[in-house]
Chain A
């Protein structure tokens, strides 16, 4: 590593503000899911809420998720999507058409009030692989259970999960920064 390697500073982050809903592109995978619907047996539907310090639901936010699974300890990328708050379902809905036993989600959260976006990870409580996952094992013991979505029901080959992300407060989720 060169001591003199030129390194520029990144362009600073700013909040996305409250008015992104009618502008940014959302729900990229809608078409894909309707085409493939009949062929897929194993689906996940995650009902996700973001909560603030006072336990109020944060609606003026959007989420980007990057679905990975691990193969021989290598991350394999499956899909990217961007979603906004679903007013009818009262949640952020993450629908996954394909999953493997070692599926987990990388989430990036953008919101009014957040000057920087936040990175986090969600595991699924019945997909036991997280117990052996090296990354999961490194997370603080007292807070890592905040990263696991709970299976609520299993209907028509769809697994329904529920999970709350806490931006702040006693149940604050674990957030990451990238180096």
Chain B
């Protein structure tokens, strides 16, 4: 009996070590993935970089003062005003300070400032769509923006991307580098979105922000909470 239990435990730890919340590299339903995802087995490397070494050099690269996604405070973009806030921790739950977070998003009509964005929608002259900030001493960050619109894309017939904000999170160590997308609760487009559905089912809720207006200190803003674990 004892040996059986031990062997069960071994299997369990083995699974835990190899199990990830990330999508697999290859996901058929996402069309542009087919010719780009590597097919060969990836090789494991160890995280052996000294974080402190990287710290000072990395910061010189960023002017981290822009958590407002409009051009300036006096310009008023179209759309519902939102606050996105959250906490960044490691996998043990320890808050991470000085993490560089960049976000970019479409405007309220679902249009990016990009000549390759062929969506027949209007560019909002008062909306920029990029912000950069870093987490404070207790791992918190905040952005002020507007609710991004959903937009159509060519993946399959009548495909629409759910409303989302792109996140780029740069730790002082490239081993915990993360690019992801934050989605909004209750979005009916999530069900049919192959990018969102590429995430293992039990981990999909980790990329959906929580509507959190109770603690909101600024009036007239919808507040969303999006915690990040690196």
Could you tell me if B178 and A113 are in contact, using CB atoms closer than 8 angstroms? no
Count of chain A residues near B, Cβ 8 A = 62
**Listed stretches A94-102, A115-123, A125-133, A152-160; interface member:** A115-123
The answer, yes or no, to whether B116 is at the interface (CB within 8 Å) is yes
Could you tell me if A115 and B61 are in contact, using CB atoms closer than 8 angstroms? no
Given A6-B92, A12-B22, the answer on whether A53 and B36 have CB atoms closer than 8 Å is yes
Within 8 A of B (CB), among A40-82: 52-54, 56, 58, 60, 64, 66, 75-77, 79-81
Within 8 A of B (CB), among A18-37: 18-25, 28
The answer, yes or no, to whether B192 is at the interface (CB within 8 Å) is no
Pick from A81, A108, A115: contact of B30, CB under 8 Å: A115
The answer, yes or no, to whether B91 is at the interface (CB within 8 Å) is yes
Could you tell me if A11 and B45 are in contact, using CB atoms closer than 8 angstroms? no
> At the interface, is chain B mostly helix, strand, loop or mixed?
loop
Count of chain B residues near A, Cβ 8 A = 71
B 67-95 to A, binary, CB cutoff 8 A, 1 in contact else 0: 00000000000000000000001011100
Within 8 A of B (CB), among A150-169: 167-168
Could you tell me if B230 and A11 are in contact, using CB atoms closer than 8 angstroms? yes
The answer, yes or no, to whether B32 is at the interface (CB within 8 Å) is yes
CA distance A14 to B103 in the complex (A): 13
CA distance A139 to B204 in the complex (A): 34
Contacts of A11 in B (CB 8 A): 21, 178, 180, 206-207, 227-230
Given A14-B180, A116-B22, the answer on whether A19 and B104 have CB atoms closer than 8 Å is yes
CA distance A178 to B91 in the complex (A): 14
The answer, yes or no, to whether B112 is at the interface (CB within 8 Å) is yes
The answer, yes or no, to whether A38 is at the interface (CB within 8 Å) is no
B 31-45 to A, binary, CB cutoff 8 A, 1 in contact else 0: 011111111101111
B 1-44 to A, binary, CB cutoff 8 A, 1 in contact else 0: 00000000000000010001111110100101111111110111
Could you tell me if A13 and B180 are in contact, using CB atoms closer than 8 angstroms? yes
CA distance A24 to B230 in the complex (A): 20
CA distance A19 to B38 in the complex (A): 22
Could you tell me if B47 and A179 are in contact, using CB atoms closer than 8 angstroms? yes
Could you tell me if B57 and A79 are in contact, using CB atoms closer than 8 angstroms? yes
**Listed stretches B139-147, B195-203, B214-222; interface member:** B195-203
Q: A174 to nearest B CB, angstroms?
A: 6
Could you tell me if B195 and A15 are in contact, using CB atoms closer than 8 angstroms? yes
Name 13 interchain pairs, CB-CB below 8 A, sorted by A. Answer: A9-B91, A22-B112, A23-B129, A23-B166, A24-B130, A53-B34, A108-B177, A111-B36, A112-B32, A167-B35, A168-B36, A174-B43, A175-B43
Interface residues of B (CB under 8 A from A): 16, 20-25, 27, 30, 32-40, 42-50, 53-54, 57-58, 60-62, 89, 91-93, 102, 104, 106, 112-114, 116-117, 129-130, 132, 166, 168, 174-175, 177-181, 195-196, 198-200, 203-204, 206-207, 227-230
